A and B are shown apart, each in its own frame.
Chain A
């Protein structure tokens, strides 16, 4: 019974919290740049405004263009539902799997890229080609991270990885450290943050994610924006859950444990959000041709994490 309640709460939570997390990161960045910045809850207002507005669709757009925002949002939302945030006691927990997570995110990206090319503008195609370049490098890295985590814990289910880490059978592992570094790099690329992409840019020619969605407006744009926000929250939750699971309620912890887990998760989300804002402020965007170096580095770290496991076992 509780599992259903917590699952329902998780489903609502990831969507309800996502704009706040995004708004908070923007607010911290503004403060770091010496600006007042919009309030952290500004994204709620933005989404509300977009939902009120008329959606303008290009003449050349097909049904793909109209469907893509919903498909993207749905796939990202579903992905976010299976990442434990405050408790692992959820209905979908047994079905959840990191490889499924990678696939769900790929579905969202695939549809966004398709929509970018659908209207036939040069920017849409430019953005889609860059996004696919990033994806082709980030996905193998993500899978490599998954492998090393599953080799440590013997499972690819986030809930069981959490249980394993919390059981205390794992000390400070070099592999986990490398996997964490790789995971952060993948998360930066997947969310289109600096140094890979600049979410705040107005320069059409440098955009990646924004270039694909330039043609969207109204509720379509709201869906796309919401999907980006949920994706950011998802990655923050994923990093917090897999690498710092302390505080997450386990099955049998009861309502008090779940509430504690919720508070701890909020704290983690804002700490990671602050770190992201500091990181983004202190670094410039890299050249498009350096993406391969950056994400190749992530892949290498993931690979090293796996190799170190075998090395440490052999020793």
Chain B
């Protein structure tokens, strides 16, 4: 125990790396890294992301009290590092993935099973020192549960609906779930490998496709990381237009989520209603910005779209009609006791777990974790806008619906504020050619997207690491379903709506 040392005080014992913006990066030696790992069990510093390089390990941290953010790095030329996951469970899967991708061994980590690597890549450690994999399927040992009358239900990776692939292994006693274990990695696309060596603009297009439903958030995260690395200030109008697009994306996703959650309780009319509202928004996106999901509208240096007076008027009409329709939908939800009976008290995530795993987004906020990257660390133009972060303490499916409802209302207000106060000027700035490292934290509809990038003098991406909020939400789903019944799993799962694509990279 080192007393109440703050994150930056602690890290300053390491060597600060030059040209890392906007938050510092410190290189820790072996002793420092050990001390950091041990701090994980006593401090409330959050792990925001953890990733590797062929011979180095990085972790993005935030001091919960001060809000200070920093990257800690540790060179590990011998291919092993002291595991943070043994002290902080949220890092377990991250470190298993680091082992699969970069071949760095997390020492001290109890769970040494592979995570993303299912033995189908043809090589091992594709981002480290790749070696030919001599074949043979991995035999994945699921965790066990023992007792009378227990049985297993394997679900997926291919499901009966049109959803992404993931495997769920249930241990049940009758209808009651005793243990759920997830197995993910089926949609691994090698994003980090694809981005390395690409010109910035090509890499931006890849970043926009990490998780299609959060494409604006990922684009902003990539753009902000690049701009930080280059030390580039972009025009104010670009910041405001980015926020406009981000809020449109948030509303579209939340609307659909609310409908889909109700649909999983066989209340299909809600999905139809919310789907129609979302469709209005997407059609408007296509008309004004040329893409229904706003893909590639945000580019490094600014935005690729603009808003004129007629577009403003159309957006204001859209907001007014969404607000009206949404009010009716929410009233229907609130006045259907059979639906509330399903959502209330189902799939509770305790607030201690939400804090321990650093869950962001509606999963965290429904379990009294008031975290939102738009407020902390905050980025323009949100520091200039008036909005509040809804927080609830119940942690059940209903709370996660209620958070979304509040966020839709708040986002609709934000869109109006942005349109009313949109500054004039250019919408983008040219990118200078400069080497550097940058990191960004952006609030997607799902939670905090972290993105770290290193640029070369030639204007290319040397390495990039996108981190999806789902990494810290998937494990909580396992906890939320425990003690619930099997038939309530789809409802819980939909209320989390974690990304497979963003997680599997």
Contact = CB atoms under 8 A, between A and B. Distances in A.
Contact of A35 (B267, B272, B341, B488): B272
A59 interface: no
A288 B153 contact: no
Contacts of A202: 159-161
A33 B269 contact: yes
Nearest to A202: B161
Interface in B191-218: none
B239 to A, nearest CB: 38
A195 interface: yes
Interface in B257-288: 262, 264-269, 272-273, 276
B323 interface: no
A290 to B, nearest CB: 8
A60 to B, nearest CB: 15
Interface of A: 29, 32-35, 122-123, 125-126, 129-130, 194-195, 198, 200-206, 281-290
22 contacts: A122-B151, A122-B154, A123-B153, A130-B175, A194-B266, A195-B338, A198-B266, A200-B266, A202-B159, A204-B159, A205-B490, A206-B264, A206-B490, A283-B338, A284-B265, A284-B339, A284-B341, A285-B266, A286-B342, A287-B488, A289-B485, A290-B341
B362 to A, nearest CB: 21
B330 to A, nearest CB: 15
B486 interface: yes
Contacts of B272: 33-35
CB-based closest 4 A-B pairs: A285-B266, A202-B161, A33-B272, A198-B266
Contacts of B267: 283-285
A76 to B, nearest CB: 24
A204 B167 CA distance: 13
B161 A203 contact: yes
B264 to A, nearest CB: 6
B216 to A, nearest CB: 28
A34 B279 CA distance: 13
Interface residues of B, number: 31
B389 interface: no
Contacts of A288: 175, 485-487
B349 to A, nearest CB: 19
Contacts of A206: 264, 266, 487, 490
A109 to B, nearest CB: 19
B145 interface: no
Contacts of B488: 287
Given A33-B269, A206-B264, A286-B338, 15 more contacts: A33-B272, A34-B272, A34-B273, A195-B266, A200-B268, A202-B161, A204-B155, A281-B268, A284-B267, A285-B265, A286-B342, A287-B341, A287-B488, A288-B487, A289-B485
A205 B487 contact: yes
A283 B159 CA distance: 25
A18 B159 CA distance: 30
B4 interface: no
A166 B276 CA distance: 49
Contacts of A203: 160-161, 264, 490
A287 B342 contact: yes
Contact of A284 (B174, B175, B262, B487): B262
Interface in B456-505: 485-490
B41 interface: no
B44 interface: no
A33 B276 CA distance: 10
Given A33-B269, A33-B272, A34-B273, A284 B486 contact: no
B336 interface: yes
Nearest to A281: B269
Contacts of B160: 202-204
Nearest to B159: A204
A194 B263 CA distance: 12
Nearest to B271: A33
B152 interface: yes
A288 B486 CA distance: 9
A115 B99 CA distance: 45
A201 B266 CA distance: 7
Contacts of A129: 174
Contacts of B339: 284
Contacts of B489: 205
A122 B155 CA distance: 9
A206 B265 CA distance: 9
A284 B487 CA distance: 14
B196 to A, nearest CB: 39
A281 B270 CA distance: 10
Nearest to B332: A282
Interface string B128-157: 000000000000000000000001111100
A200 B371 CA distance: 38
A130 B153 CA distance: 15
Nearest to B174: A129
Given A204-B160, A284-B339, A126 B486 contact: yes
A32 B341 contact: no
Contacts of B273: 34
Contacts of A130: 175
Nearest to A193: B266
A284 B337 CA distance: 9
B162 to A, nearest CB: 8
Contacts of B485: 287-289
B237 to A, nearest CB: 39
A284 B161 CA distance: 19
A289 B336 contact: no
Contacts of A195: 266, 338
A135 to B, nearest CB: 16
Contacts of B269: 32-34, 281-282
A290 B488 CA distance: 12
Nearest to A33: B272
B164 to A, nearest CB: 14
A284 B338 contact: yes
Nearest to A32: B269
Contacts of A201: 266
B175 A33 contact: no
A166 B487 CA distance: 45
A205 B159 CA distance: 10
A33 B272 CA distance: 6
A284 B266 contact: yes
